[in-house]
Structure 1
């Protein structure tokens, strides 16, 4: 065996493994300058580094495996480490979940836990992830599901949808196009009850569509396809998705596809029905036009009558208002006249009262001066010298005149 002799250099940041001729080993950290004498082995160790988004997978010489999260640096010592490699940490978004398994050191049983995102996940050496294998859409035909098309470890927990075509089994083969919107609600229940929920939902919707179509004729089926947009038409789908921890939020009917001959027969029948329907609609439209014309004429007569009545009512209202105004004016004039008469009468009374008061004052003054008021008043109002009376007899037309001289 060739022995290593001479000067050796270990660079800064490096390490070297030296085994002497007696089989003893040692690790030398750089920077160093060494002189070796008949050394059995001199190897510069390979340096492995992992950053913050990586980890080191290390298999030790005793068979144990270690996962060391970054950032870290490990030198590959072949005496202690059998193999080492750098692996990426598993990055989880907020809508992703990992199903992680490990064997319990205490009980020896398998344990399962859910690792929720968002996070960077570094599994322990004794942990491994559940790998899902589900039906998935064909790359060339999104409505065709292929077994084991979807293989993944990150489980999406956001609402999703898939397309699926159902072939009905009856005298007329019809392909019904469906679109299902689903969302996972219970991951633990899903792991316990199914290993391929997409296949379960496809089988359930197929059973429901066949049960729906088998009770109807082709014509009735085409008339009632709108019910395929209602979840009430899919009892088996709703029941199965609930049993596996999923929820169907909506089922959308996207149309149908029938054989060419059947479709041609259906189109011909539709054409005949359409012509009949158009004829009936034309008759109905003509009748509606006649009804509208008569109704319009009737409305015109009603409007004219209404306008005439309104004019008469307006004229009557104007006459009534004019009469009421005239009466109000006459009442006001009469009231003003009465008020004027009252004022004049009051004025006359006041003047007469003033005259009487003046006369009383005057007579009081005369009395105070010693004047005989009786004689004064007689002189003011003398007695007439002669009085003539006219006496008539009812039975006779003779008139007698009696005269007497004043005393």
Structure 2
């Protein structure tokens, strides 16, 4: 057995004496181990995304954040292991608890992402245990089916089938819904509930059962659209607000019932569908007939309008033609009147000139001593016979005498 041991760089060894004393050596060096037991310690290291959790023999826990390394000392440590740090996205948070050494009280803090979280030795994480989706049926939730430490703070949703909803006429159905929700207040959620999904399920079931109990099956089928209105979920909205959540929407996905009732509903639905299709077909035929009549009326109106426009156009043309003809007649009349006036004026001027010449002629004759009266009388010959009719009224008779003239 060699009495000297060589320790390289980044190595640590222990020399254990027979009396139980332990001496530690770090390399690089060469040590004397005569009559001593030499133990080369194992070395573990952690990267930037890891940390080393050390459990010492005195009960102390230490978390060494990476990058780091340590040696596993069996005399001072019970265990040492490399742990991964917790990475948080922007929509995830951690609820971390720690004990205040001065007051010995537990303090709670919330770590928001994005970050890489390395817990200290006196910190522990809140583990959420909620209703989770059944692997056999995604529309059913089982208690404790969901365990996690990273709490998501983004909008989420889940499917759920509400069984044994009894209608007013005592029909049992299963109502399918889908709920959308979002966490608004983490502190309120932590203080008011341990299982928000369970609270949602209970409140949702209560609202749907209350809705179905007031209606018969036929009325329920006719009013299923009301299940898409959030105002009809009173208990769900109140409970979600009390635990720090906001329910944005509930979507109705249909319902189920037993086979016999389902066959009856299917038969009734087929009959209603056939009647509705027939009624729509009749409406379409009536609409087509109405459309044809409307088109015919519209076409007749257009034809009448065209005829009226043509008549107005012809009347306007006749009016313009008559107006033009009257203008031409007026123009011709004015021209004839103007010519006649000119002719009369010319005649008057000519007669005036002749009268002036005659007057001048007679004046000259008078100045020459000629008797103008005799001259003028001589210009007109005397008649061959002169007939004079003289009527005398002697008072004997009131009637005039009758005269007969014979050539």
Q: Structure 1 residues 139 and 318, CA, compared in 2 at 3 Å: closer, same or farther?
A: farther
Q: Structure 1 residues 72 and 292, CA, compared in 2 at 3 Å: closer, same or farther?
A: closer
Q: Structure 1 residues 261 and 47, CA, compared in 2 at 3 Å: closer, same or farther?
A: same
Greater alpha carbon shift after TM alignment, 56-65 vs 279-288? 279-288
Any idea what the Cα deviations from partners look like across 1:306-351, whole Å, max 9, x if unmatched? 11112223334445566778899999x99xx9xxxxxxxxxxxxxx
Partner of 1:388, secondary structure, is helix
Deviation of 1:87 (Å): 0.6
2:34 equivalent among 26, 33, 37? 37
TM-score, structure 2 normalization: 0.76
Q: Which residue of 2 aligns with 1:7?
A: 4
1:388 equivalent among 362, 369, 372? 362
Contact 2:15–2:33, Cα closer than 8 Å, also in 1: no
Q: Structure 1 residues 280 and 70, CA, compared in 2 at 3 Å: closer, same or farther?
A: closer
1:90 equivalent among 86, 89, 92? 86
Q: Structure 1 residues 312 and 201, CA, compared in 2 at 3 Å: closer, same or farther?
A: same
Deviation of 1:272 (Å): 3.5
Q: Which residue of 1 aligns with 2:254?
A: 255
Q: Which residue of 2 aligns with 1:361?
A: none
Any idea what the Cα deviations from partners look like across 1:128-169, whole Å, max 9, x if unmatched? 000001111111211011110100000011111100011212
Residues in 1 aligned to 2:328 and 2:34: alpha-carbon distance in whole angstroms: 148
Q: What value does the CA root-mean-square deviation take over the aligned residues? A: 3.2
Q: Which residue of 2 aligns with 1:266?
A: 265
- Residues paired across the two proteins, number: 344
Greater alpha carbon shift after TM alignment, 100-109 vs 78-87? 78-87
Q: Which residue of 1 aligns with 2:158?
A: 162
Q: Which residue of 2 aligns with 1:225?
A: 224
Q: Which residue of 2 aligns with 1:190?
A: 189
Residues in 1 aligned to 2:373 and 2:198: alpha-carbon distance in whole angstroms: 150
2:66 equivalent among 67, 70, 79? 70
Residues in 1 aligned to 2:67 and 2:243: alpha-carbon distance in whole angstroms: 41
Q: Which residue of 1 aligns with 2:97?
A: 101
Q: Structure 1 residues 110 and 389, CA, compared in 2 at 3 Å: closer, same or farther?
A: same
Contact 1:96–1:156, Cα closer than 8 Å, also in 2: yes
Q: Which residue of 1 aligns with 2:205?
A: 206
Deviation of 1:270 (Å): 2.9
Partner of 1:38, secondary structure, is coil
Q: Structure 1 residues 27 and 174, CA, compared in 2 at 3 Å: closer, same or farther?
A: same
Contact 1:52–1:71, Cα closer than 8 Å, also in 2: yes
Deviation of 1:276 (Å): 4.3
TM-score, structure 1 normalization: 0.76
* Structural mapping, 1:117-132, within 5 Å: 117-132=113-128
Q: Which residue of 1 aligns with 2:55?
A: 59
Residues in 2 aligned to 1:262 and 1:45: alpha-carbon distance in whole angstroms: 76
Residues in 1 aligned to 2:327 and 2:121: alpha-carbon distance in whole angstroms: 113
Contact 1:388–1:401, Cα closer than 8 Å, also in 2: no
Question: Structure 1 residue 142 and structure 2 residue 116: aligned?
Answer: no
2:16 equivalent among 16, 19, 22? 19
Q: Structure 1 residues 280 and 159, CA, compared in 2 at 3 Å: closer, same or farther?
A: closer
Deviation of 1:68 (Å): 0.9
